[in-house]
Structure 1
């Protein structure tokens, strides 16, 4: 009996990881957030790297960045990325907030909304829908609470896109710079 309980406890993280629901904060809002330690980097260096990341990641960093305070160590931007799901072209709108302190930074991705022509035969089908509204629809889930396969495709594509974005700025902010490169 003890072994069975220990086995179940050991496997619990695998069951929770396999869930198909986006992360939510205490108010129910979908939020991807983390404090990331980066040893040896100042607030100023992290801020500069983030500005460079915005400039190389988006077509126009000036159009994306809505708030930029070097003194406070904060950058907030509203971005759009594409999701390719079969024949369907979708856009994902989001707000990315970055806050910097010596040796660490915090990111939050919020205000996620999907836009695309889900059904070309329905007028207005390409309206922008918040992620909270999308995932709160009873049509998304089966009676047993499991996400329907059609919606799971959208969830997986959105989650992959968000993870790719997170990994991109994490890589840019934590990259080591060689001082002996002659520049």
Structure 2
């Protein structure tokens, strides 16, 4: 969708980001919850593998983790991923978009739950082709954006589960 602005006899088109025009999603629609099976692994092993995965996949586990309790098997942290573009063309328009989020890992014997909440979009202010775009840091507003973000975040559970088996195998060196 474009906004047209008339300046004298010249008509200018200013592109507005789709996410700025779409109807807001509810917090429930912006919260993702998934339970993963981890057969043969106890709560302590899952907790340790989750913490190790965070340390290996985020810039600094110390800066990411807000709360942790090994006794409860819970880790809560804040993460950030690049916006998952659907195509190279889309990435040209969103090269500096990021997706900040809160991740909660809850471990029990032979399973764990990941909850992603406070999922937002962020892009810095910039000028592109003479059009000024203001900085944005706010909740994801469109289902289309959530449909791109969800698979990327849900992959974390599979990666943590893989980390469990890899860690167990490397312990026998």
The one of 92, 99, 109 aligned to 1:102: 109
Q: Which shifted more, 160-169 or 38-47?
A: 160-169
Q: Is the 8 A contact 1:38 1:174 kept in 2?
A: no
Name stretches of at least 5 consecutive residues in structure 1 with no aligned partner. 1-23, 136-146
Counterpart of 1:14?
A: none
Deviation, 1:82, is 1.4
Q: 2-side partners of 1:129 and 1:179: how far apart?
A: 41
CA contact (8 A) 1:75 1:98 kept: yes
- Map residues 13-32 of structure 1 onto 2, 5 A cutoff: 28-32=28-32
Gaps of 5+ in 2: 1-24, 86-90
Question: Greater helix percent: which structure?
Answer: 1
Query: How far off its partner does 1:33 sit?
Result: 0.9
Tell me the TM-score normalised to structure 2 length.
0.68
Structure with greater proportional strand content: 2
The answer to whether residue 94 in structure 2 is matched with residue 80 in structure 1 is no
- Is 1:127 aligned to residue 118 of structure 2? no
| Compared CA separation, residues 53 and 118, structure 1 to 2 (3 A) | same
Change (3 A) 1:166 1:36: closer
**TM-score, normalised via structure 1 length:** 0.64
Q: RMSD of the alignment, in Å?
A: 2.8
Which ranges of 4 or more aligned residues in structure 1 deviate by more than 6 Å? Answer: none
Total equivalences in the alignment: 139
